[in-house]
Amino acid sequence: MERQLPDLAVVDVMMPNMDGYTLTKKLKEIADIPVLLLTAKGELEDKEKGFLAGSDDYT
């Protein structure tokens, strides 16, 4: 990302070391790129947390 920004970031919520919500926040701090959270977690609270983190969509 230091050399070239991606057009889109597809992020999983359940990752080792850093969850997708945290990564989404960090990505949005660095650049204004669309972030799609792709996950099996589909509860309303999970979606809300994803959008509050800055994701553009949650699937």
> The domain containing residue 31 runs over which residues?
9-58
pLDDT digit string (tens) for 19-39?
Answer: 999 999 999 998 999 999 988
42 occurs within a structural domain? yes
2 occurs within a structural domain? no
> Helix, strand or coil for residue 37?
strand
CATH label of the domain that carries residue 28: 3.40.50.2300
13 has a pLDDT exceeding 90: yes
Do the beta carbons of residue 42 and residue 16 sit within 8 Å? no
3 occurs within a structural domain? no
Q: Which residue has tokens 């669309």?
A: 34
Q: Could you tell me the pTM of the whole model?
A: 0.86
1 occurs within a structural domain? no
Q: How many domains does the chain have?
A: 1
14 occurs within a structural domain? yes
